[in-house]
Structure 1
Amino acid sequence: MFMEAINHRATNPYIYARDKRTIDIMLETKKGDVEAVELIFADPYDFKGDQWQYKTKQMIKTGSSQLTDYWKVSVQPEYRRLRYGFQCMDKDNTKIIVTERGFYKTIPSDIGNYFCMPYLHENDIFQAPDWVKDTVWYQIFPERFANGDSSLNPEGTIPWGSEEPSATNFFGGDFQGVIDHLDYLSDLGITGIYFTPIFKAYSNHKYDTIDYFEIDPQFGDKETFRRLVNECHSRGIKVMLDAVFNHSGYYFEPFQDVLTNQQDSRFKDWFHIWEFPVKAEGYPNYDAFGFVASMPKLNTANPEVKKYLLDVARYWIEEFDIDGWRLDVANEVDHAFWRDFRNVVKEVKPDAYILGEIWHDAMPWLQGDQFDAVMNYPFTNGAVEYFANQQMDSQTFADSITNVLHMYPQNVNEAAFNLLDSHDTARILTMAEGNKDLVKLLYVFQMSFLGSPCIYYGDEIGITGGDDPGCRKCMEWDESKQDQGLFRFVQRLIKMRKEIPGFGNCAKFRFLVIDGNTVVYQKQAGEAELIFVLNNSDQAKSIEVEALSNRKAIELFFDQEVLQEEAKVKIEAYGYKCFQLHN
């Protein structure tokens, strides 16, 4: 047995409280090395004489990559305390006991050897808002969605869609334009809108804030925004705003004061300034977003800065009843600030959604004391590279998604923000080189995965665009230029996600078959069981799916009842099937 490959620590994501009674535990072993794993567990004080009254429970293999098998189990300790270890058995019936202090051939009697969960405290449990799990998001870049009030157009605004997007051009998108098209979003099935920044700023992207308490005048005023939020809520649509708290803009008043008064400015400690005089051109002599001089980094450890930004967080919820904050460059802001941010937001609106922009493993921010979710770029990378880019084989794709599922606790996965593209990336149709069959496979996978999916505005009608600024095109409102077939396809997937048990969130996911360019995965939620077959190639396939052998099912995309007398499933090029199994 490869004991050096056995991995567990008494911390997330290896052990966590799923709810106030249930503890989930995970162990990693070398792929194919271990045949069975049992959890050894009991209350640390449960003794009869000098005998610890431990129990055992079989663990379930929940996924495998090319290197690792993942084993999980759930237990409900009576007194919410736990000491535990693992008994691993290989094909030769060799048994190894895994403890915090090392490996044993027999079960140790001293409980000091075992891993420990001292106590399950309810206020330590990761808890994201329940409504997020059923939300389908739509990301809107306000300057490019719709121009509903031309009187607000900034100077130099050009006709809608008359040019390719650039870093400096303006087309006049505004709140009224969004209000005018809310029925379109409702018809698609959208239940949440994520707006990139709406506050007063210099640029067309608005990530260089001038005033965090004011709406940018090109979008409208506060009353129009209030009406927008109310119109969204009346349709069952949540509203999430973008908080750019890592850095301000060049024209932010405190930074302008620093430029004017230099070391005599009372705001000099609001920023991370290396030396005076401050140079705000070229390569800056202060911390900034990247090395962009017009985006000076805020010192969130400064009490005045912290109070200012926390007042911002409170204001937009109290005054306009927004439902969440997306936090820009969240990993570059200190953890202490985010803990205080969460306390303020949850005090005002306990079910507000707090979403961090983090592109890498974000477990330190997902302990229940900071964010409810992060933008799930590890999911994005695997899905896009496999389906759209065709740069990843099926086994590597399955490994990447299996690793994503096991890098966070299950209750974290259920709140994850699963995007395919955004204002920061090329659009999926462009990445797929115009192949809409690949885009459809992407959407099937996204909408049938765990978490909270997000559509970038216009993708549902076939808008293209390369990396920023190409991905920030004007929305196409001429129906003759929209791909209505793609719209109906996405609309149907959203409907299936909402209505079919097991199709969407809060279900168990695992890959069943990896065969060439075809993947088969299972979704289970209670008694509901679905099996998806996706063919990511330009050739028709016939694939063995033992889980379907001699099973009655309904193929949901074609609404056909089938009896799989044999395990073979025939699937066309770039095809997709979903079998809803009868008990």
Structure 2
Amino acid sequence: MGEPDWVRHAIWWHGYPLGMTGAYPADPAPGPHEHRLLRLLPWLDHAVRLGASGIALGPVFASTSHGYDTTDHFRVDPRLGDDQDFDTLVTEARQRGLRVLLDGVFNHVGPGFGHPGWLRPGHTFEGHEGLLTLDHANPEVRDHVTAVLAHWLDRGADAWRLDAAYATPPDFWADVLPRVRARHPGAWFVAEVIHGDYADFTTKSTVDSVTQYELWKAVWSSLNDGNPHELAWALTRHDGFLDTFVPATFVGNHDVTRIAAKLTDPHHLPHALVVLFTTAGTPAVYAGDELGLHAVKEDRHGGDDAIRPEFPATPEDPFPGSDPAVLRLHQDLIGLRRRHPWLHTARTRITETTHEHLTYESTSGDNALVVTLNYGPGTVRAAGTEAVAGEPADHLGPFGWRIARR
């Protein structure tokens, strides 16, 4: 676990700029003179009030449509603005103590990419005609990606999400990332990996972290099915990953149905958030989830638009569907997380699992928190001593939860 020291305090507020600023989908598309990227500036204070320590941005580079079909990695998407707008955003984030993570698409590019000789002939990404696969064995491609990563780190970024890294040969990253780290030893790299052997990929690729989709799935699935045993199994798996790396954790992102809509019973939303903020990992909150927004991802053209909406001009403006109680819950749990930074690498031990509830301990040295989640409409006895969040009583009411000292 050789990640930079600052990451143990990192809590990301993850946004999709093209959608948040109304730049995509839009007809006609906005031009650089509209400086749409600057529309994120009023939301930086919201990220601070939430308790985040950084902003994780979806694609901001020149592309054809949704941002994941890049045409120029060295150019800000003209629908968002220009280099000066990027610099302004980074400067304003820095002034608020927020780090910046960028989303890099280096497995594939869009049809307008300027180096057709760098592509694998006849290869597209997962059958999408508009996503053309790069030839990762080509030394020029490796040099290009190395230069892109370093360029934006030079301009003030702190970290990178490597999109579709699971589809890219691990040896590609093992060549590129050490070269970038030689210039930026404090940079953090998280790979999008949906399934497979997370630890093996991390070791072979040299990335710092991967997206913990196993835990994401187990959280909502176990709650919807009323099956604490599924979450217990996933948390045990999660604990094992810490022998190799610290996972990037989440209960929502730009590619999945929002957690408030994914859960069939709204009583379970606090449970999902408690797991996110009391177990090891580098957590991220998908912008809008903290407001309680509901949206469903659909498997069709434009099926991502609902989960990537345009945001109001300021956080004070009305946002249809927002719920202040959900925001307060996020703030409370993020505050707890920040008061206990040891949770970043805490080991999780399941202490009791029944058909009605789950109890686990998160520990690091002498530090410990005991979490009890009541899945059902009955009452259960909570473990631990003094409650630090949730219901204060030893017996939890229907769908109750408690975080306590051991």
Judging changes above 3 Å, is the alpha-carbon distance between structure 1 residues 328 and 369 closer, same or farther for their aligned structure 2 residues? closer
Q: Distance in 2 between matches of 1:133 and 1:382?
A: 24
Q: Does 1:410 align with 2:246?
A: no
Q: Does 1:489 align with 2:323?
A: no
Q: Distance in 1 between matches of 2:4 and 2:140?
A: 30
Equivalent of residue 577 in structure 1, options 392, 395, 402: 402
Partners of 2:249 and 2:284 within 8 A in 1: yes
Partners of 2:18 and 2:67 within 8 A in 1: no
Equivalent of residue 505 in structure 1, options 332, 344, 352: 344
* Aligned partner of residue 296 in structure 1, secondary structure: strand
**Percent of aligned pairs with the same amino acid:** 25
1:290 maps to amino acid: E
Equivalent of residue 443 in structure 1, options 247, 250, 273: 273
Q: Distance in 1 between matches of 2:40 and 2:263?
A: 28
Q: Distance in 2 between matches of 1:321 and 1:492?
A: 30
1:355 Cα shift?
0.7
Q: What is the CA deviation profile of residues 148-195 of structure 1, one whole-angstrom value per residue up to 9, with x for unaligned ones?
A: xx9x9965259xxxxxxxxxxxxx993211112111110111112111
RMSD (CA atoms): 2.3
| Correspondences of 1:155-234 after superposition (within 5 Å) | 155-156=27-28, 174-203=36-65, 205-234=66-95
Q: Distance in 2 between matches of 1:210 and 1:362?
A: 30
Q: 2:119 is matched with which residue?
A: 271
Q: Does 1:458 align with 2:277?
A: no
**Structure (1 or 2) with the greater helix fraction:** 2
1:501 Cα shift?
6.6
| Correspondences of 1:109-128 after superposition (within 5 Å) | 126-128=1-3
1:493 Cα shift?
0.5
Q: 1:542 is matched with which residue?
A: 380
Judging changes above 3 Å, is the alpha-carbon distance between structure 1 residues 571 and 247 closer, same or farther for their aligned structure 2 residues? same
| Correspondences of 1:239-250 after superposition (within 5 Å) | 239-250=100-111
1:417 maps to amino acid: A
Query: Does 452-461 or 299-308 show the bigger shift?
Result: 299-308
| Correspondences of 1:38-53 after superposition (within 5 Å) | none
* Aligned partner of residue 133 in structure 2, secondary structure: coil
1:465 Cα shift?
1.0
Partners of 2:281 and 2:344 within 8 A in 1: yes
Partners of 2:199 and 2:244 within 8 A in 1: no
Q: Distance in 1 between matches of 2:127 and 2:289?
A: 31
Please report the TM-score for the alignment, with normalisation by the length of structure 2: 0.90
Q: 1:59 is matched with which residue?
A: none
* Aligned partner of residue 301 in structure 1, secondary structure: coil
Q: Distance in 1 between matches of 2:163 and 2:347?
A: 31
Q: 1:63 is matched with which residue?
A: none
* Aligned partner of residue 424 in structure 1, secondary structure: coil
Partners of 2:107 and 2:165 within 8 A in 1: yes
Q: 1:260 is matched with which residue?
A: none
Q: Distance in 1 between matches of 2:367 and 2:258?
A: 34
1:357 Cα shift?
0.5
Partners of 1:355 and 1:372 within 8 A in 2: yes
Q: 2:148 is matched with which residue?
A: 312
| Correspondences of 1:362-401 after superposition (within 5 Å) | 362-367=198-203, 370-387=206-223, 390-391=224-225, 393-401=227-235
Q: 1:555 is matched with which residue?
A: 387
Q: Distance in 2 between matches of 1:501 and 1:199?
A: 33
Q: Distance in 1 between matches of 2:362 and 2:200?
A: 28
Query: Does 240-249 or 527-536 show the bigger shift?
Result: 527-536
Q: Does 1:520 align with 2:355?
A: no
1:401 Cα shift?
1.8
**Consecutive unaligned residues in structure 2, runs of 5 or more:** 298-302
Q: Does 1:533 align with 2:363?
A: no
2:219 maps to amino acid: A
Partners of 1:355 and 1:375 within 8 A in 2: yes
1:364 Cα shift?
2.4
Please report the TM-score for the alignment, with normalisation by the length of structure 1: 0.64
* Aligned partner of residue 354 in structure 1, secondary structure: strand
1:544 Cα shift?
7.2
Q: 2:300 is matched with which residue?
A: none
| Correspondences of 1:225-374 after superposition (within 5 Å) | 225-255=86-116, 267=117, 270-273=118-121, 286-318=122-154, 320-360=155-195, 361-367=197-203, 370-374=206-210
Q: Distance in 2 between matches of 1:506 and 1:311?
A: 32
1:480 Cα shift?
6.6
Partners of 1:201 and 1:249 within 8 A in 2: yes
2:53 maps to amino acid: T
Judging changes above 3 Å, is the alpha-carbon distance between structure 1 residues 520 and 226 closer, same or farther for their aligned structure 2 residues? same
Q: 1:103 is matched with which residue?
A: none
2:286 maps to amino acid: Y
